[in-house]
Amino acid sequence: MAEKIKPNIFYVGAKDPDRRLFDELIPLPYGTTYNAYLIKGSDKTALIDTVDPAKRDVLFKHLDQLGVDRIDYVISNHAEQDHSGSIPHVLEKYPEAKVVTNEKCKGMLMDLLHIEEEKFLVVEDGSSLSLGDKTLEFMIAPWVHWPETMFTYLKQDKILFTCDYLGSHYSFDDLYVTDQQLIYENAKRYYAEIMMPFANLAKKHLDKVQQLELDIIAPSHGQIYNHYDFILEAYRDWTSDKVKNEVVLAYVSMHGSTKEMVDHFKGELENRGITVKTFNLTGADIGELAMATVDAATIALATPTVLAGPHPAAVYAAYLIKALRPKTRYLALFGSYGWGGKTKEIIADLVSTLKAEILEPVIIKGLPREEDFNLLDNLAAEIKTKHDQLD
Ligand code: FEO
């Protein structure tokens, strides 16, 4: 069912509770939704974003339920196809509609969906568009999480449509957030997966959002917020420089030697009052791993040496961490080898673009001996000292 949000403002998006992977990469434990919104002004009707093309029938069913026979504007806040992919179908059904977006997004929509140039109405930061008794204002908000992203503010009703920003992959029954802790967790997972690499911009946009008079924040995934302080505070925290006294310990072990090191190291850290979150990379949910890296002061990677280098699962994790660019301050590496290799050099090269300090790796031969455990103790002590000095 289409759902009324305010007079003449409706949720017309689609739920996808069974989807389990996004971008063929990101696990979706709670499925997702593609939120689209219909705004009927006294003169014009606007659709804010569309839905993944696989779910376009749901969008059209909602529009039909509301008796929509004309759409004047399709606002595209973001060119990624889970929101834009149904625009060509909307233009087919409502041929009078113009696609309203910024210049960069226009170019991307022309490339990604082959929408013709004359279908666009280009707006800039601060532009407004009258629907009669309702006015849309556009805020260019790049890099959350693509370069063309923007927000749309419905002035009279104080609703901000933020597309991916502040959203969560959560297929809901209730349109509004009912369980803040649950949405906090899902929003954090989502932030880690796509927003964290651009944390500085995500932080900057918060300032703009907080200057607005707001009743509702309506993202394009997950539930909408009529009490939004908690999500703004969460973003403020995640995008800050603050880190927690935590170690994310991601590991893989082939014959148990590296695992013995992991168990010992974990115990040494915990004995020193450090929280440790462990992930066995052979079966870990990478969304959980990404989420854990949002706050942790240190990330430790433990890998055996195989075929003269780190285990491919550890390479994948290192690459992922590099891409997500967490604010972690320290990186630790340890593991065991049988006959040699370049594990240390390969991992160090993979994470070299991160700002974090790389601590002296502990790479040992075979099953760990007492002197090897002592090296891990020293590493744990060094981490403890560094965490104690955190501001
Ligand atoms: Fe939900 Fe970046 O698309």
List residues bridging with 15 in a β-sheet: 33
Is the pTM higher than 0.85? The answer reads yes
> Cβ(16) to ligand 1 under 6 A?
no
Residue 77 CA to residue 55 CA, distance in Å, equals 18
Question: In residues, how long is the chain?
Answer: 391
> Cβ(80) to ligand 1 under 6 A?
yes
Residue 106 CA to residue 76 CA, distance in Å, equals 9
Nearest CA to ligand 1 atom 3: 80
Residue 58 CA to residue 250 CA, distance in Å, equals 41
Ligand 1 centroid to residue 119 C-alpha, Å:
22
Mean per-residue pLDDT of the chain: 97
pLDDT tens column, 9-59: 999 999 999 999 988 888 999 999 999 999 999 999 999 999 999 999 999
Nearest CA to ligand 1 atom 1: 164
Q: Phi, psi at residue 11, to the nearest 5°?
A: -85, 125
Where do runs of H (alpha helix) occur along 148-285? 180-190, 199-210, 229-238, 257-271
Side chain identity at residue 116, one-letter code: E
As a whole number of Å, the CA-based R_g of the chain is: 24
- Alpha-carbon distances of 293 from 24, 84, 90, 296, rounded to whole Å: 21, 30, 40, 5
Mean pLDDT by 10 residues, the chain (391 residues): 96 96 89 98 98 98 98 98 98 98 98 98 98 98 98 98 97 96 97 97 96 98 98 98 97 98 98 98 95 98 97 97 97 96 95 95 97 98 97 72
Q: Which residues contact 109 (CB under 8 A, 6 or more apart)?
A: 76, 79, 84, 87, 99, 101, 115, 120
Strands 305-306 and 309-310: antiparallel
Ligand 1 centroid to residue 337 C-alpha, Å:
41
